[in-house]
Structure 1
C-alpha cells in the first residue's frame, strides 16, 4: 500500500482553508447588495491543453477590494501527449483570493488554488486524487478607456507524492502577459506572450521549456462588457515546436 504524505497534504490544505475562511469572513462581514457580485464563464481551446472551461467570480468587500474565486476544468483535453487534461486524472483546479484596485484601471489579484488529478502528484502514473497540487498565483489586470492587458504568474507544485517506484512528481511555472489597444468599443488588438516551464519534480534536476508562445491577438467585445471572443495565434519559440493558437470566448453576469 502506498504511503500518503499526510503532513505535507495537511499543511497545504490548512493553508488553503485558512486563506478561504479569512477571505469569506471579510466578504460576509459587509452588507449584501446584488451589484457586489460578478461572475464570468469562459471556454478556451489551444493545442496543448485542449478544451477547458474556466469560471471566475468576485464579491466586493469595499470600494477597492473584492473576495475572488475561480475554477479551471482542465479535464476537457484529448488524453494524448498534447491537450491531455482528461489523461491527467480528470485534472481540475479551484482557488480563492482577494482583488485590489491599486489605481485607475489597474488591479492586483493574488490567489491560491488546489488541484485534483494525478499530473503533479505522480506524473500521471498514479491514482487521481484531491490534493494533487497547490497553485499560488498572481494576476495583474489593466482595463482603461483605450488600453487593456494582463500579467499572470502561477506556480504548480505537488502537494502529495503518489508516484510509483521509479516515477516522479512534476512541477511547473506558467506565466503570460498581453497588452492591447482598444481600436473601438467593439474591437481591440494586441500582443500575447505565454510560457510554460517544467520546473522539475522529485526526480528531475533541470527545468525544460514546454512551450513559449508569441503572437498577436484580436478581440471582439460587447461594448456593455457582457461578452467577448478572442483569437491569439503566432509562433512557438521552443525548438521543435511550430506555432500556437488559443481561442477564448466568455460571458459575464
Structure 2
C-alpha cells in the first residue's frame, strides 16, 4: 500500500485567472475538468503520469477566510536566470512580499491573489527538479511531520533535523516536499493543500484507514469548502494541515 503526492491545490477567487498566471510562470499547459477548476500540467504529461506533478486551482466562495501555511519555492539555474524570472513574474502580475525575510539571497513574491512564493537563488540540490524546487510547509515539529509523511507516502526521506525535513519522490523526479520549523505557525485552513493519489488497484478506504492509524484526522472544511459527495476524502495531518486522498486513477 502506498500513496503518491501528485499535486498542490490552490483555493482562488478566480481559478482561470490564477491558473493563467501560474501556467505562464511555470511554462505549463492549461486544461479544465469543469467549471471553477483549472488544471495545470507540465507540457507532454497526461494525468496521472507516474513522474508527473500538477497544480489544481479551484474557485471557492471566500479564499480570504483561509491562510498561508504552504508555499512554493521556484528553482533557478543562475543569478541571471533568477533575475530574469523575477522580472518576468512581476510583468505577469506578481508583487514583492515582505514576510520578515530580511536580507536573504532569494526573492519573495506574491501571486495576483496574494499567495506568497519564493524564487530561490541557484542551489545544486534543485538543479533537476524542474521549475518548482519544493513545496514548503510551515510547521512546529519537522521531525514529527517527517515521521507521518514518510509513512503516509512512498516518497523517500532525504533529510531531517529539528528545523527542517525534506522528502522527494522515490523516482528521484519533480519537486521536494519540505517541512520548515516556524514558531507560532497558525492552525487555520490553508489556501494551498496537498493531494495524494492511491496507485491503481489500491483501495482508497483502506489507505484512508491507514492514514488515520498514523495520526491523520477527519475534518470538515466548512466555509463553503466542504467536499460534499466528492470522490476524495479530506483529512488533516498531525499538525492540522488538510490534505485530500483522491479516488484511484
Same fold (TM > 0.5): no
TM-score, normalization: structure 1? 0.26
Of Structure 1 and Structure 2, which has the larger fraction of its residues in strand? 1
> Per chain length, whose mean CA-contact separation is higher, i.e. which structure has more relative contact order (CA < 8 Å, sep 6+)?
2
If you compute each CA radius of gyration, which structure gives the higher value, 1 or 2? Answer: 1
- More helix per residue: 1 or 2? 2
